[in-house]
Amino acid sequence: MLKFLKIHIASPYKHRATAYVYFALRLLVIPIIIRAIFRMDFESLFLCSLTLLLFLLPSILSRRLKVDFPTVLEIIILLFIFSAEILGELNSFYIRIPHWDTMLHTMNGFLCAAVGFALVDLLNRDEHFSLKLAPGYIALVAFCFSMTIGVTWEFFEYSMDRFYSHDMQKDTVVRTINSVYLNESGLNRVVTIEDIDDVIIVHSDGSTEALGVGGYLDIGIHDTMKDLFVNFIGAIVFSLFGYFYVKDQGKGIASLFIPRIQQEEDFVQDFDEE
């Protein structure tokens, strides 16, 4: 019991499960920081430092906005940050693990819908606002908020690839092209090129090079649309959960993900626990 109290006081999170997850993830990040320092790997050092700061974000928002984040939501956010930055970026899970990026984008759509829903729901419950919104409208706002965040992120990925020579929008190998541009007659009719085996690069000196990728190397568009589609699925799922949450007056699985306004007794309880 004394051991938990020490961890609880030192942790920015008041929920026991979140505090343990927070410290466990920090312990995993710290050795990576030490290794990055010895290797003079400043990019990894920056990502690790950013991860540690992002770990504090739910706690900071909770205190600033005076809202109580459910334990499940806090843990998912912490695991999402760790999975995206440490596992995805530094350990190349985006390349090594199939559909890792798809899983995170789906979860992102779900979480962003939860955030958007919470913002509207908190205002809807506030006594200072006379406007009361229907469950369907709140769910629609949550869905639109999530999709807006998803589209904005894809804008960011494209900008990094276009202007800073990154590869955030991963390539996709396809074996069929449907194109109007390749129609030699100049008509607006689709020309289909099938059974593409490889991409041949012709350099400025006239030399050629076969990439050996097994098809045409599409740059970005398939990855972008896939990310938006799974974001759409995540947003739809939570919007449905949120709809029934409001319909059933605060009951249902969505309650595990929706913050609530802290009441006076919550502050008294927090003080007593500490």
**pLDDT digits over 9-28, tens only?**
457 888 889 999 999 999 99
pLDDT at 274: 45
Directed axis angle between helix 100-125 and helix 221-247, to 10°? 40
Structure tokens at 52: 């540690």
pLDDT at 103: 96
Q: Output Rg (C-alpha) for the chain, integer angstroms.
A: 24
User: How far is CA 61 from its chain centroid?
Assistant: 17
Structure tokens at 157: 């990925």
Q: DSSP code of 72?
A: H
Amino acid at 24: A
Return d(Cα 176, Cα 235) in angstroms, integer: 31
Q: Where are the alpha helices (DSSP H) in 16-172?
A: 16-39, 42-55, 57-65, 71-81, 93-96, 100-125, 135-164
Query: Where is 268: in which H helix or E strand?
Result: helix 264-273
Decide: helix, strand or coil at residue 210.
Answer: strand
DSSP β-ladder status, 172-174 and 216-218: antiparallel
Structure tokens at 193: 């090129």
Return d(Cα 133, Cα 145) in angstroms, integer: 16
Query: CB–CB of 258/72 below 8 Å?
Result: no
Query: Would you kindly state where each structural domain of the chain is located, as residue ranges?
Result: 2-159+220-273, 172-218
CA atoms within 13 A on the CB side of 70: 15
pLDDT at 65: 77
Which residue in 241, 229, 233, 69 sits closest to 139, CA to CA? 241
For 172-193, what is the HEC assignment?
EEECCEEECCCCCCCCCCCEEE
Start-to-end C-alpha separation, the chain: 13
Which residues in the chain show pLDDT less than 70? 1-10, 126-131, 263-274
